[in-house]
Amino acid sequence: MSTATQKITGQVAVVTGASKGIGAEIALQLAKAGAQVVVNYSSSKAGADRVVTEITNGGGKAIAVQADLSNPADVKKLFSEAQKAFDHVDILVNNAGIYEFAPLENITPEHFHKQFNLNVLGLLLASQEAAKLFGTRGGSIINISTVNAPWAPPATSVYSATKAAVNAITRSLAQELGPRKIRVNAINPGMVETEGVRAAGIAESDFRTQVETQTPLGRIGQPQDIAPAAVFLASADSGWITGETLYISGGMR
């Protein structure tokens, strides 16, 4: 961490969907590594404010910015506020996302577009705005995907398709933006115990037991298992890594 701290100090990170779960932990760990952080949230202002308070109480700098990443105007607002507060951006963590599961007979256009508009279009628009603010310094884009992209369990066809798209976008943008010194990588977590997973009843479900049985390390993940990898991918320690998808899943693939 000390090496990463030295190399991220003074950089500015935008973390989308950072009011809770994996996004909140990534925001906190980037701040501990020396970054100034824009904590984005869609609806949970209280959660985002808690993350900002924890960062500032630890001597860091952070602001909370409301923006629904499925709304193009909100995406522009997010990066306008980031630029206003910190002048530039060096790191983007595309964490904002939604998951809804449905069998084939229950899939509707609304179900489809709700997930694709946020998980795919929102990610692309955020990357577009961040790339403008990276400038000649380059930067690092870190996309949060999932093991569901290749695993694609039943009733997740739309959600899994959005994350398969994220993996493809990661590879494509890495090639496109590499000449501009912008690196693009993805983290593909396995099941992680977050507020959303608990609220959906998954944390205490038979599905969790099934996943743990199939996981070589025998447990589901915690946000603290994911965040250090984001710090690594944001830092110069990963300076020759781009276009990669890093699986953090306890060995489950």
Provide the annotated active-site residues. Answer: 159
Asked whether 94 and 121 are in contact (CB, 8 A), the reply is no
- Per-residue DSSP letters for 143-196? EE--THHHH--TT-HHHHHHHHHHHHHHHHHHHHHGGGTEEEEEEEE--B--HH
* The residue to which tokens 């946000």 are assigned: 223
């607002």: which residue's tokens? 77
**Cα distance between residue 112 and residue 117, in whole Å:** 8
CA dist 136 and 189 (Å) reads 31
